Structure formats: structure tokens, C-alpha cells
Amino acid sequence: MPGLVGHIAIPPMPASIDRALQKLAHFSRYATSDFRYAPTVHLGRIARRQGEAAFDSVVTPSGLVAVHLTGHARRRTRPYGDVSAADFLRDYLQGTLDPGNVDGGFVGCIVDLGRNRLQLFNDRLGALPLMYARHDRGFAFGPEAKAIFPTLGMQPRYADPGLVSFLSAGYCLGDQTLFEGVRFLEPGTILTVDLGTLAFASERYWKMAYEEDKGLVDRKAAGAALFEAIKESHESLLGARDGVFDILLSGGLDSRCMLACVARAGRMPKRTFGWGMQADFPYSDSDIASKIARRFGVRYDFFGYGTEVFLDNANSWSYLSELANDNIGWYAEGASVLAHSYDPSVDYTLVGDEAWGWGGVPANIEQAISSVVPHAVAPLFAKSVRPGMRDACNAMYRAGIERALQGVDNAGLAEQKDYLYLHGRVARFIFSLGYYKELATEVRRPFLTGAVLDVVKGLPRGFRYHKNLYRSVLHTYLPELRRFPQNMCSSLPDWRYDVAHRAPLRDFFTELLSSKSLEASAISKLLDPSAIERAWRGYLQAPVRPIDRKVGKMRLFKHWLVPERARIWRAARGDVLGGIGSRTDFDFFRALALLILLERQFPTLGR
């Protein structure tokens, strides 16, 4: 994907990022550039299109210090506008560099030959991926591991902690990756590398610290402050009035708020768009999104896909995505969707990722963790693990959770839950969906700017349960959105049913999960192939019902019987412990099959 790559070689070997750039040139419209600062320091950059303003690099007249920037960096205070590599260079030379004062999704690199060091930094939430490794040929970094392997002469191998995390949670946590020797730059981090010794150290410059603001204890005042922050956030990210943008309109509460806010600001997107199996399932996200778009007089494009195209895209997409997460929908949509369905003429796409507050009231730390990720390895994983490995796998998984929680300053369970959601799930699962979009378009997130986060971290915890204060804001300040219901029907493909009942899909997964396939995999160090195959065949014999997509009169009556204000206050009390931490046996089988699929791409990844 677009981003920065670099190689610091060990003398006498010269540094080279040529193969890294080739590995990242996924689409023909991509453009590359490279920079040499010494025989052993070679940097490069890949952008989505020729002439993209993000070829943003600057060097001091002496040639001793250079700054490279990729992504989008925006001033969080008026006058709003872009923060350039030159701005970061000025702050660095003055000793005032603070990426935490900048909004957006970006990665920066500073080469300082005078101090004989290289520094990498990302935005406060780590919206763009950066991986790095130290090996026999030096130190290398890039947005994908496939840029690192050929640069350092490394052969891809699975790392046990990454496998355990992926099979249990569906993504990796902390600085883990799936690959041995490759680490992930955590959110809000500056990584410093010595150009001579290649010793490196990381420092977190920002993390979410929740502290109740007395000025936000009153619900009305808190709602007003949050709405002002939302408006300010949209104003800061929209930029020039002649800018062209799209909105990913899911039909949910967040994306509809984006559309209402840009409309009130007198700015309309070129189009809105969404995904799913079918656009006209009543009360589905796509059905609601189309009605919202019609209300605001804006174009809505729906991109349909079904489970059948998974077989066409699975191999190429596993190679391209490197399993940043196990969201199987992306393996159906594939790279061709990114290449042809996203509009390359737009400057950016607005996406409704948020951190208003997650789940209900945890009674203990296990509930707090389970609201976000499973608190232990998957049950089927535990049943299938090799003898004597269960405790080790549990320890590896808990270490990943602890790494994601590292640095939390709050003792409260609700705060630790929200911290894990932001620094764990948002950073490594939700943003990884953004990584995929970033292959085709710049992604901006108006609900994750500094202005919004400053309000959220000062809210009483009760206002964050089930993001109930945000719901109040919508009800009070955007009444034009009240008429639209919430999602009551899925428009996504029915993966569980189709994998169990459609022969081509079932046979594909059965081959991947066979004893023969598993025994040839490094995963067999941890799992018993025979136990997995037996469990899979038992799963196929159990009845699987299709998704019920009908919204009957009784369901509608129950939905409308409880008015929106009542739902808001019920959520405010935190009566229900919501959670996304539970995973089914199908989730485990899916993740395992994808890992086998990616492992078969290792010769190409490392070539």
C-alpha cells in the first residue's frame, strides 16, 4: 500500500529499497520516489497517483537533516490546513516536535546525519500501518511485511504469539505481527534507530488518559461540547471548499452524522457508497443508507458481492492484505473492487470510525477485556492444542492483551475497557479495514480528531456506556436524522450458511482444514491436525440456519415501542454488558483457513 519504506544497511553492503518498492506497486497508477542520504541509508515512498501532493519531503540546506511524510496531517486549531514535512522539520530543529498536536493519519521519517540517527513516528492513533525489523542485512521498515522480507533477505515465518492472537481475536495486539522478527509500530510512538549500531528504542508520546472534566458532568453541557467538537472536527478535515470527497455511508449512526454535518457546513460529497450482498433488504444498512442519501439529495452507490467470489479473490487478497485481520468480507470483495469501485479522482473519503465509549458496565477485569477481545484463547483452540502447549498459548495471548493495555493510567474498569478498545481494537482491527481502503483512497476520520477525543476523555463514564451521550447529541442537534431507523437486518453475505451448504466453498475450506494441509503447516507446532479435521467435519454435520432477513410487524412494533430517548437513557444506565469479545467455532475455522492460505503465499512474499 502507499507509504514509506527504508533500509539501513550494515557496511559494506549498500542499502537498497528497490525490491520493496516493487513489492508495494499493487496498482498501475501508483508512483514511487526514492532518496539516498549515505551508501547505507536508502528511503523510498509510494503514492496512489502521479503528482500526489503527498510526495512530501524536505531537506535542510546542509543536507544533514531530512523529513519525509506520508498520509494526511492537519492542524487541529485554526487556521486549519495541512501540516507539511517542512513544518515537522522546523519543529524538529527547534526541539518542539510533537505529533500529538496534529490530526490525521500519517507516518513520518526523520533522517539526521548529524546525530547519526533515524526516527519514525505515526499519528496519535496509528491510523496507518508501519512494520519494521532488524536482521542480518540491517534495519528495514514499510507499510507491509512483504516490503521488508526481500530487503533484509528474510524468509516469512509465522510467530507463535501472532498466531495465537489471530486465532483467538481475529487480529494481532500490541506490537505483534503474524511474522517472526517483524514488529508493528504502536499508536502514538516515536521509534529511534542508531545509524551506526542499528540499536533502536520506541517511546509512546500519546495515549488516551480518561479524567472526568467537572464542566462535562451536566449532560446538557456535555452534549453541547461534544457536538461543537464534532462540527469543529468536520471543519478541520474538510479543507479547501473545492476539495472533492466521498462518504462511506453504512446507514449506521456514525456515517449518517457525517453526512448531516457536511450538509450543514454547505459541503456535499461527490457521492456516498456502501457494501453488501443486496441493497434492498428492508431495514438493512444499505436500505437505510440509500434513504438517507436520498433525503440529502446525494448520490448513493451500492457495491454488491456474494460469497461465491471468495474463491476467485482468496489467494490474491491473502497475499495483498497479509491478514491484517480475519474479516472474510474483504476476501470476497478483493483488490479488484478497490481498483475499480473507489473513485481515484476524489481527494479523500470520510469514514465513521469512532471511540465514543464501548459496551456496558464491567464487573471485573475479565468482563472489561471480554467486552473488546476474548479474555482467553478460543475454546476450540484450547481443545485442539498440542499436549503441554495450552498454558504457553494462554500466556502468549494474555501477553498480547497486556501489551495493548500497557501504559493505561486509569484504575477504573470502564476506562480500561475503553482504553483497550481504542488502543487495541481500533488500532489493529478497525484501522486495518482502513488500511485496505488506503490502497485506493485517503481515509479521514472526523470522529477521531484531537477535539473530539479531548471531550470524550473528560466525560463521566456513564455517558460513554454504549456511546449513549453521542446518541443524545444526534437526537438533540440533528433532528433531521430521527426519522431513519437503526439497522434491524443484515445485508451482508451469510458466510456461515454458505460455507456449510455451498459445495465449492465447503470443499475449499475442507481442503484447507484437512489433516494433510495442517500437517504441512507451521501451525501444526501448536495445533493437532487430526483434532482440527474432526472438529471441522463435526461442525459441518451440525445444522446451520440461514440469516433471518425478514423484519416482521412484531419486530417493528418492539422497535418503535421504545422511543429513542428511552433507548438513550437505558444505555446511560449501562444495564447491558455489550461485547464483541466472543467468537464462534466458525470464526476459529475461518481464521485458521486464512492462515493456511497466507502461508502458501510465503514463497512469493519473501521472493
Residue 237's domain comprises 214-510+526-606
Query: Dihedral (C-alpha) 293, 298, 303, 304: value to the nearest 10 degrees?
Result: 40
What the block records as the C-alpha cell of 362 is 464491567
Q: Indicate if 34 and 118 belong to the same structural domain.
A: yes
Unique residue bearing C-alpha cell 457525517: 258
Alpha-carbon span 502 to 62, nearest angstrom: 65
Q: Which of 150, 181, 204 is the last residue of a domain?
A: 204
Q: What is the pLDDT of residue 349?
A: 95
Residue range 413-422, pLDDT digits in tens: 999 999 999 9
Q: Indicate if 102 and 145 belong to the same structural domain.
A: yes
DSSP string, 408-472: ----SHHHHHHHHIIIIIIIIIIHHHHHHHHTTS-EE-TTSSHHHHHHHTTS-HHHHGGGHHHHH
Q: Which of 142, 175, 204 is the last residue of a domain?
A: 204
Average pLDDT over residues 493-499: 94
Q: What is the pLDDT of residue 562?
A: 56
Q: Indicate if 441 and 472 belong to the same structural domain.
A: yes
Residue range 235-282, pLDDT digits in tens: 999 987 778 999 999 999 999 999 999 999 999 999 999 988 999 899
Q: How many domains does the chain have?
A: 2
Residue 292 has pLDDT above 50, yes or no: yes
pLDDT band at residue 575 under the 50/70/90 scheme: very low
| pTM (predicted TM-score) | 0.95
Average pLDDT over residues 335-339: 69
Residue with the bigger pLDDT between 514 and 556: it is 514
Q: Indicate if 309 and 163 belong to the same structural domain.
A: no
Write down the number of H helices and E strands in the chain: 25, 17
Q: Indicate if 293 and 430 belong to the same structural domain.
A: yes
Q: Indicate if 472 and 576 belong to the same structural domain.
A: yes
Q: What is the pLDDT of residue 331?
A: 74
Q: What is the pLDDT of residue 87?
A: 97
Q: Which of 172, 204, 236 is the last residue of a domain?
A: 204
Q: Indicate if 277 and 406 belong to the same structural domain.
A: yes
521: in domain: no
Q: Indicate if 66 and 104 belong to the same structural domain.
A: yes
Residue 567 has pLDDT above 70, yes or no: no
Q: Indicate if 143 and 188 belong to the same structural domain.
A: yes
Residue range 201-212, pLDDT digits in tens: 999 999 999 999
Q: Indicate if 56 and 191 belong to the same structural domain.
A: yes
The CATH number of whichever domain residue 476 belongs to comes to 3.40.50
